[in-house]
Amino acid sequence: MSEFLNNSLTLLGQIPSEPTPFTPVVLLFQIFILLSSIWVGIDSSKIELKKYKSGISYGPIVITILCLALWIVAFPWYLVVRAKIKDGKAELKQA
């Protein structure tokens, strides 16, 4: 019975039949995520992101960690907010 269950779960994708191969593409993508997240931290410090009203108005360290953890959401969001700041359309926080 356990062999049947194991085969069923493998077919459903729950238990991989073999370990996922480590490919150069995966490594390149991980390096890209790391470098782009570090760039976000440095750039957010330069443009003073904390001064603007935004859902991601955090310090450089926090925004870098956020990008590392949730890159697929945080990186594009940062790019949109950055474009608004560069265009002068971003609203400043009240003092």
Task: Please state the domain extents for the chain.
Answer: 22-87
Residue 12: pLDDT over 80: no
The average pLDDT across 40-69 equals: 96
Q: Model-level pTM?
A: 0.75
Distance between CA atoms of 7 and 69, rounded to whole angstroms?
33
Give the type of residue at 83: A
The average pLDDT across 7-18 equals: 55
Distance between CA atoms of 55 and 52, rounded to whole angstroms?
9
Q: What is the 3-state secondary structure (H, E, C) of the chain?
A: CHHHHHHHHHHCCCCCCCCCCCCHHHHHHHHHHHHHHHHHHHHHHHCCHHHECCCCCCCHHHHHHHHHHCHHHHHHHHHHHHHHHHHCCCCECCC
Distance between CA atoms of 91 and 52, rounded to whole angstroms?
6
Instruction: Give the residue, 69 or 14, on which the prediction is more confident.
Output: 69
